[in-house]
Amino acid sequence: MKVVAKTANEAMAEAMRQINPDVVAAYPITPSTEIVQIFSRFVADGEVDTEFVPVESEHSAASACTGAAAAGARVMTATSSQGLALMNEVLFVTPALRLPIVICAINRTLSAPINIHCDHSDTMDQRDSGWMQFYVEDSQEAYDSVIQAVRITEEAFLPAIVSADAFILSHSLQRIEMLEDEEVQDFIGEHKTPYSVLDVDNPITVGPLDLQDYYFEHKRGEAEAMRKTPPIIKKVDREFGERFGREYGLIEEYRIKDANKAIVVMGSTAGTAKEVVDTLRQDGEKVGVVKVKAFRPWPREDINKSLEGLEYVAVMDRAEGMNGFGSPLFTEVRSSLYEIDKRPDIYGYVYGLGGRDVKPRDLKKVFDDLKKVESGKKIERVNYLGVRE
Amino acid sequence: MAINLKELSKQGDFLTSGHRACAGCGPAIALRQALLAAGKDTVVANATGCMEVVTTIFPYTAWKVPWIHSLFENAAATISGVEAAYKALKRKGKISKDINFIAFGGDGGTYDIGLQALSGTMERGHNILYICYDNEAYMNTGIQRSGATPYGAHTTTSPAGKKIPGKTQWRKDLTEIIAAHDIPYVAQATISEWRDYMGKVQKALSIKGPKFINVLAPCQLGWYYKSEDTIKIANLAFRTRFWPLYEVENGVHRITKEPKKAVPVEEWLKLQGRFRHLFKDENRKIIEKIQKRVDERWKRLKALEEAGL
Amino acid sequence: MAEKKRGWKELPIGAIIDEAGSSEKFKTGDWREGRKPVLNKDKCTNCLLCWIFCPDSAIIVSNNEMKGFKYDYCKGCGICANQCPIGAIEMVPEEE
Ligand SMILES: Cc1ncc(C[n+]2csc(CCOP(=O)(O)OP(=O)(O)O)c2C)c(N)n1
Ligand code: SF4
Ligand SMILES: [Mg+2]
């Protein structure tokens, strides 16, 4: 083990180096460019055996990655925002072909207006594409999650996006504990592939046309693969924990056991929320945080178990759902809770769009709102935090 | 590398019967001939389009070589990923066989929506052969114009109407666009001149680096002619010099097969319903215009060849 | 021709087709519209031009010889008859 200071970009690039994928096809975009740059240097210096494909667009990055994975290679890439959006069409193909690929994504908002800063609109745009999605809180988790994702994707035969907040994580130095190269190799093991188009002696046809008679069956199979991912993720996470001492779960509960109010949140804001909870706890408030790490698969059971019995919950979305109601995390948490008996009163908060800073006092205001509700006041079901009126 | 049909017939087909292309489909011939020339150890990436659709209707596939389809515009990017994987796995000793990598795309998937991915793949120098089967329109979606559709042709999005007589733009010269990428081998072929075409496929596959072949493949449905005339029309395209057969090897143009005497382009046009309206008196001048263009392009090609360029 | 349609649990992973050339199970011979090719073996020189031009891989060749047509697949396009340099293939009306 080595203790170093790394940004999330650097940490993910280091994880990629240690994973030593067969193929990386990537295209630059702020703020994930650095991952591609650092990795290119690893290639140039012979620190990896990777075939690096400097494609002419993210559409081609995702296409080349998908082709390479179908050829039995271990494949990774990195992107952000518009890049992820340009990949959209391909991103629906990869999981349907059941190919394990890992994308290191840096969460940056989508145009327009063009803006290079943090929010989750880019990955939220891909939430129904069939990729697993893991949101991380810090550089350490970014590093660990990328390594775990290799194992998870190759057991589930589904691809995964590991995403870290733009600049807040991608460009700020944090202390991380790095594993030894051999430990990483030993943990991820030999690459597993569901099939390979390079097997010319056993030719297969990948990506055929379905008519009305088979499309539904194929999609049902793909959906089942996603349904089966929670135990795989937990198993890999547990093994990682046993070996290296860090475990994350599908969600993380923070001071939730005796709480009556909680914030549900993803990404780096979870750290801020924990601080706020610590402060409020000193004043005797019974507050907690649920950090959602895996947004896909949707951790319905874990969410319900942790929120059951709570009285007031605020769900924080760093993305606008544009449905005239609530954003994705809010609507999904709310819909999960429908099936439990003791449902909390639940409110949605849209925050931090386009990199708008979220300070502890902002999150304190959210708890204050919940307190107002507790005292009988009415507030809006969905609220905007930190926007000028 | 002489092509011997008797020898080739012994290896069997890699594009089998039972696919659902129209009777007399030119593109199906283009694919079949290419695979016969390439042989068994070949991996194919295919763009969305007629050929992808008719050959792989689940649970049936007409392919006897490994085949991958992902999307419409990304056949070149897909094959570049497959080839990159091959290189990496070979370096790591996980695979040793020599394998051909071929991408097939229609003119829509190649001249138009897939041009960027193709250009990138060519520029990056992947060891692949991209074959554009050019049937001069988007056939799979019902005969819409493409950048490859010839001047004057009727398509469903360039209909011959009362005011506008079919397509009013010249086709783009994709073969030259790809040649401008300075890659080792670029060629133009037609399915009637199978010896020339299959020889080009074999030659391309013997060269390392990115290669491109643009093969004219008539479509009876979209060109509006009788199904038995596919080869005849492919041949006339060459004999009228509408579609010259040539190659550009390391930047040098060479005409590989030259019609002894040029047939007037009208002879080619008149067999195809998509040009029928050009034979009305008021449109006759368009035929002259097309002939003039064909002559100019031929002169240009000859000049390039003669100059050793 | 009618194969039993499989349920989702019975399908290969990733929607792949793992049986190369399985389209041979799908017969396209009934697409012919009233005419079929017939070979005059006396005339045929086994040049195999019909074989190289057939879009449906429906010309039977064995031991370097043109042996006839796979009528299960031949769609009756007529290219072979049109291209045979010595007229050894004729398109003839098909009886029902
Ligand atoms: C992004 C995208 N846009 C449009 C389509 C619809 N589409 C499918 S095939 C096709 C035309 C194919 O034309 P071409 O490449 O010439 O092949 P052909 O069908 O003529 O063989 C189109 C427009 C698509 N599949 N994907
Ligand atoms: S429409 Fe044209 S290209 Fe498509 S299958 Fe029919 S003949 Fe072939
Ligand atoms: Mg076309």
Angle, helices A8-19 vs A181-188, to 10°: value is 70
Closest partner residue to C48 among B6, B15, B17, by Cβ? B6
Q: Provide φ and ψ at A93, rounded to 5°.
A: -80, -45
Q: Is C70 a domain residue?
A: yes
In whole angstroms, give the CA distance from residue B217 to residue B190.
7
Contact between A131 and A95 under an 8 Å Cβ cutoff? The reply is: yes
Per-residue pLDDT tens over the stretch A17-38: 999 999 999 999 999 999 999 9
Q: Provide φ and ψ at A64, rounded to 5°.
A: -65, -40
Closest partner residue to C13 among A194, A214, A220, by Cβ? A194
- Which residues of A sit within 8 Å Cβ distance of C? 96-99, 157, 194-195, 202-208, 210, 213-214, 216-218, 220-221, 224
What residues does each domain of chain A span?
A: 2-243, 251-385
User: Which CATH number covers residue B80?
Assistant: 3.40.50.970
* Mean pLDDT along residues B176-180: 98
Binding pocket residue ranges, ligand 1, CB within 6 Å: B 27, 48-51, 72-73, 106-109, 135, 138-141, 146
Record: contact A49-B45, CB cut-off 8 A = no
Per-residue pLDDT tens over the stretch B243-254: 999 999 999 999
Q: Which domain holds residue C36?
A: 27-93
Check: CATH 3.40.50.970 for A2-243? yes
* Mean pLDDT along residues A225-231: 98
Residue C96's pLDDT band, with cuts at 50, 70 and 90, is low
Name the domain count of chain B: 1
**Secondary structure (DSSP) of A33-87:** HHHHHHHHHHHHTTS---EEE--SSHHHHHHHHHHHHHTT--EEEEEEHHHHHHH
Q: Is C19 a domain residue?
A: no
Nearest CA to ligand 2 atom 4: B50
In whole angstroms, give the CA distance from residue B138 to residue A40.
39
Question: Could you tell me which of A26, A16, A20 has the C-alpha nearest to residue A62?
Answer: A26
Q: Is C6 a domain residue?
A: no
User: Would you say residue C1 has pLDDT above 60?
Assistant: no
Q: State the Rg of chain A over Cα.
A: 21
Which listed ligand is nearest to B28 at the C-alpha?
A: 2
Q: Given the DSSP bridges, would you call strands A2-6 and A174-178 parallel, antiparallel or unpaired? A: antiparallel
In whole angstroms, give the CA distance from residue B196 to residue A324.
62
User: Would you say residue C2 has pLDDT above 90?
Assistant: no
* Mean pLDDT along residues B156-183: 98
Per-residue pLDDT tens over the stretch B4-22: 999 999 999 999 999 999 9
Q: Which domain holds residue B41?
A: 5-306
**CA atoms lying within 13 Å on the CB side of residue B219:** 25
pLDDT of residue B2: 80
In whole angstroms, give the CA distance from residue A273 to residue B76.
47
Tokens for A58, please give them: 């993210």
* Mean pLDDT along residues B292-305: 98
Which listed ligand is nearest to B27 at the C-alpha?
A: 2
pLDDT of residue B166: 97
Contact between A35 and A15 under an 8 Å Cβ cutoff? The reply is: no
- List CB contacts of C36: < 8 A, sequence separation 6 or more: C69, C71, C74, C76, C91, C92, C94
Residue B97's pLDDT band, with cuts at 50, 70 and 90, is very high
Contact between A385 and A365 under an 8 Å Cβ cutoff? The reply is: yes
**Domain covering A251-385, topology:** Rossmann fold (3.40.50)
User: Would you say residue B224 has pLDDT above 90?
Assistant: yes
Collapsing DSSP states into helix, strand and coil, what is residue A18? Answer: helix
User: Which CATH number covers residue C55?
Assistant: 3.30.70.20
User: Would you say residue A222 has pLDDT above 60?
Assistant: yes
Per-residue pLDDT tens over the stretch A102-133: 999 999 999 999 999 999 999 999 999 999 99
Helix (H) and strand (E) counts in chain A: 14, 16
Measured in angstroms, the CA of C36 and the nearest CA of chain A are apart by 30
Q: How many residues does chain C have?
A: 96
pLDDT of residue A1: 86
- List CB contacts of C19: < 8 A, sequence separation 6 or more: B59, B61
Record: contact C14-A206, CB cut-off 8 A = yes
Q: Provide φ and ψ at A62, rounded to 5°.
A: -65, -35
